Structure 1
Amino acid sequence: MLKAVILAGGLGTRLRPYTFMVPKPMLPLGDKPILEHIVCWLSSNGIKDIIIATGYLAHIIEDYFGNGTVVSPDVSIKYVRSAKPLSQGGQLKTVEKVIGKEPFIVTYGDVITDLDLKPLIKFHSEKRGLATLVARKLTTTSRFGVLHIDSDFSLKEWEEKPKTEALVNAGIYIFEPRIFNYIPENQVVSMDKVFQEAMARDERAYVYVSNANFIDIGDTNSYRMAVNEYTKRLGGV
């Protein structure tokens, strides 16, 4: 089975003050930290070989999980620690030496999901591209009324705060090891820049559209919503 990398080294600035003393992936969600939910999800999908890329307050993550057996006897966790914030792409580069020659899964350390990985892995294998990016559909409501006009500027339609649907990045990927060829070492690089660099050199990336449930805990509002949801599920824990 494939290895998985969890990117868990960010500063969590949008979740301050919660993250002054605790790294974002270790914030509690229900009965366990966010990161443990992710490790359990990977394990339930048959992924037992996990690499956690740490940085900010790394010792809290490493002390909690140890070698991984605290989650499950057959889970193995290794760590690669970066000395400074590198953004997602730059931090991904830090795990290059421990990946090997097989494709591998990458997930952000703040994404909770029930995505079934088997169809995703099959999709990536069939497409034979450099990367597969998981996307989810997001419906948003415009803050404004939208005016549709004719060529002579006459009003055709007034649409009050219309809803639009778009595909957005879910923060889960499968990469071939040659992805590291497109990431400079020890530099701050966002994940979108990694894709842009690779595609500029004629690499192909594919999008796997999923209807799974996703919770992206990116700021204080989304964290509060996630906590409330899990509290309801656990009967007030």
Structure 2
Amino acid sequence: MTESQQPMPPAMILCGGQGTRLREVTELLPKPMVPIGEQPIIWHIMRGYAAFGVKRFILCLGYKREEFIDYFLNFHARSTDITVRLGKDHGITYHGETFEADWEVTLADTGIETMTGGRILRASRYLKPEDREFFLTYGDGVSDLDIGELLAFHRKNGKLLTLSAVHPDGRFGEMKFRGNLVEGFAEKPISSSRYINGGFMVADREIVSRYLEGRPDCYFEARPMQEILKDRQLAALRHNGFWQCMDTPREHKLLNDLWNSGSAPWTKHWQR
């Protein structure tokens, strides 16, 4: 089997945080379950990966994990017409398939207060032996990034971790480059002409054993990523297209307005 014929790696999505800056809606829902249109943002993120053939998803859950369980257990019932048979021969018939019919979604309980590194470590048990790498992202941002290009870039550069570099709006710490290698980070740039980590990443599974084992509760973005950086194993693909996180009510409204306009930029690859 050639590399192009191999199944796409699974996507691990960090979904356990409390989303305090979006508190007016996350009091009732975890941030990845906050809706953009009729579906939660986690569905939009997963749909973006699925457009490139990703069918396996590992969700790292914590805060209000029951909302994810309810959503995915009842996904088909909410997405199609159904016939419910009551009584002795009870059962359910789903009328019609959905786009998501071949998705495999693992709902991994990674703890309420666990930090991102600990979540990755705990959820890594659901990687299969043949998974030499996996996609890694957060459950609160969308982009028109070409996932296939990101994976090809990761494999070509041969580093353990590949980030997506996107233009910020001045609120985030920026990355410094030498070629495709990341050399360091700086806090809160003044302008949006520089790049930040957009959160769409590819990781070799070696990062788990090399940087996370023995650290059951650490921020992946702190010591582990700094060690990956020190080892010169961190690269980044520059993405100049659309990217938007959903940290605030203003950003939530922006994404809903774009979706309701009928031309949401992050759906660019969905017709594949």
TM range (shorter): 0.7 to 0.9
The range that moved more, 56-65 or 82-91, is 82-91
Question: Aligned partners of 1:118 and 1:22: how far apart in 2?
Answer: 31
Q: Which of 8, 17, 23 is the equivalent residue of 2:15? A: 8
Q: Could you report, residue by residue, the CA deviation over 1:77-129 in whole angstroms, capped at 9, with x for unpaired residues?
A: 11111222223222211212112341110110001112111111111111111
Q: Which of 154, 160, 174 is the equivalent residue of 1:124? A: 154
Question: Aligned partners of 2:127 and 2:30: how far apart in 1?
Answer: 24
Does the 8 A contact of 2:168 with 2:194 survive in 1?
Answer: yes
Q: Between Structure 1 and Structure 2, which shows a larger proportion of strand residues?
A: 1
- Report 1:104-119 matches (<5 A): 104-119=134-149
Q: Which of 182, 186, 205 is the equivalent residue of 2:211? A: 182
1:231 aligns with 2:238: no
SS in 2 for 1:182: helix
Q: 1:41 to 1:96 in 2, by over 3 A?
A: same
Partner of 1:38: 45
Q: Name the aligned partner's letter for residue 226 of structure 1.
A: L
Partner of 1:219: 248
Question: Aligned partners of 2:18 and 2:191: how far apart in 1?
Answer: 33
1:210 aligns with 2:217: no
Q: Which runs of 5+ in 1 are unaligned?
A: 142-161
SS in 2 for 1:206: strand
Partner of 2:168: 138
Partner of 2:88: none
Question: Aligned partners of 2:257 and 2:158: how far apart in 1?
Answer: 41
Runs of 4+, deviation exceeding 4 Å = 67-71
SS in 2 for 1:138: coil
Q: Name the aligned partner's letter for residue 173 of structure 1.
A: M
Q: Which runs of 5+ in 2 are unaligned?
A: 1-7, 77-97, 172-189, 264-272
Identity of aligned residues (%): 27
Does the 8 A contact of 1:67 with 1:77 survive in 2?
Answer: no
Question: Aligned partners of 1:137 and 1:83: how far apart in 2?
Answer: 32
Alpha-carbon RMSD: 2.2
Q: Which of 65, 69, 72 is the equivalent residue of 1:62? A: 69
Q: Name the aligned partner's letter for residue 208 of structure 1.
A: L
Partner of 1:80: 108
Pairwise CA distance, 1:203: 4.6
Question: Aligned partners of 2:205 and 2:74: how far apart in 1?
Answer: 24
Q: Could you report, residue by residue, the CA deviation over 1:10-30 in whole angstroms, capped at 9, with x for unpaired residues?
A: 011111021011110111111
Does the 8 A contact of 1:66 with 1:77 survive in 2?
Answer: no
Q: Name the aligned partner's letter for residue 232 of structure 1.
A: S
SS in 2 for 1:132: strand
Q: Could you report, residue by residue, the CA deviation over 1:168-224 in whole angstroms, capped at 9, with x for unpaired residues?
A: 110111001111121244313242432112333x25110111123112001222112
Question: Aligned partners of 1:33 and 1:167: how far apart in 2?
Answer: 27
Pairwise CA distance, 1:139: 5.9
Partner of 1:166: 194
Pairwise CA distance, 1:163: 4.8
Question: Aligned partners of 1:188 and 1:21: how far apart in 2?
Answer: 27
SS in 1 for 2:168: strand
